[in-house]
Amino acid sequence: MIWWQAECHFGDMIRISFGQFYHYGIFVSEEEVIQFGLPPTEGLLNRATEDIAVCITDIDTFSGGKVVEVATTEKTDKKRLSPKKTVKRAREAVGEKGYHILHNNCEHFVRYCYFGEKRCEVTEQVQTFWQNKYRLDLYFAPVLPLPSAFDLSPKVLYREVTSLADTEKKAQAYAGWKLLEYALYRTFGYKIEDLNLKKQKDGKYSLDKCYFSLSHTSEYVAVAVSSEPIGVALERLDEYASVWQEQAPAIIAQGEPCPTSLEEFVMLRAKKQSIHHYHGQGAFAPCHIVAESIPTLTLKATLGDHAFLCCLSGKRVEKGGIYLSDGTSATRYREGLWI
């Protein structure tokens, strides 16, 4: 795509510069430029997002005295629609709302009218930057009773949950997948239905653009999302209060010291569980997993009425954001202690 300072013609894709970003429109005539929201000088940045709509102004209002650039396609670009079809699409959209600065902005709109596909170069550059930047966020959410009617996307996740016979396990699985859906969008801007979710032979799921890991107790679910492979394990401390001494010898690998307290036992078990989730192979056999085989971080957190240990494992694991979520919103969790 090449942009020129040239005379505008019927059906042209045009833009004006505002420093590091642009405002786009479809030129119909000097009296009719169709755009998604007014240019910033006409109040776009001062309006509530829900009020922004596809609208029509004249070229003077669109440009605000700035130089107007006209798009010219190159051989490598997708073939553009005819000017007549471009203008028809633009006019049919007048009044439509649903503006989103990253996912449905003025450039998405004009490219849809011009090429038939929604794209935004700035959004793609931002996404590429964040994809290449190391990210690790950890989310917690309570396990609530399973709704009488629910849906999950992709459908494979719905089938996964409904195939479980145990009601408690269904609720835990549902809470985990819903939290993952929210975490992917909040951390990376991805909608889970737009990603390639695959179930591996070992039963573990994977995504094509980032990594994730899930763990849950009967009360809470933990989801870690990262730009690099990650494993997470969540354990409630008092759950093992009466059995840890009996179980301790069975979880240690050769050469490892035996835990001498409840917290040491739960931490060791959680570390091994997170390493198991990182590798995602076979059944969990803690006595065959060396706790220090890969880097691990451990967070001590109070969730509800109980104390938990949450371990993160990966070849590159760093402290990231920690959030408490209800599946639709999240707040920073600042009470946890890294130990």
Residue 232: per-residue pLDDT: 97
Whether 42 shows a pLDDT value over 60: the answer reads no
Own/partner pairs for 158-162, CB < 8 Å, 24+ apart?
none
* pLDDT band (50, 70, 90) for residue 131: low
Query: Could you tell me which of 261, 262, 254, 258 has the C-alpha nearest to residue 236?
Result: 262
Domain borders along the chain are 2-128, 134-338
pLDDT digits (tens, 9 = 90+) for 72-115: 998 888 899 999 999 999 999 999 999 988 889 999 999 999 99
Averaged pLDDT, 134-163: 91
The residue whose two tokens read 């969008």 is 185
Angstrom CA distances, 24 to 61, 84, 106, 163, stand at 13, 18, 6, 48
Cα 223 to Cα 204: distance, rounded to the nearest angstrom:
14
Averaged pLDDT, 45-66: 86
Residue 240: per-residue pLDDT: 96
- Positive or negative CA dihedral for 229, 173, 243, 304? positive
> How many CA atoms, within 13 angstroms, populate the side-chain half-sphere of residue 331?
4
Q: Which residue has the higher pLDDT, 280 or 42?
A: 280
Cα 83 to Cα 111: distance, rounded to the nearest angstrom:
13
Residue 81: per-residue pLDDT: 96
Cα 132 to Cα 103: distance, rounded to the nearest angstrom:
19
134-338: CATH, from 2.60.40.730, 3.10.450.50, 3.90.470.20, 3.30.420.40: 3.90.470.20
* pLDDT band (50, 70, 90) for residue 21: confident
CATH number of the 2-128 domain: 3.90.1720.10
Query: Could you tell me which of 231, 200, 211, 205 has the C-alpha nearest to residue 131?
Result: 211
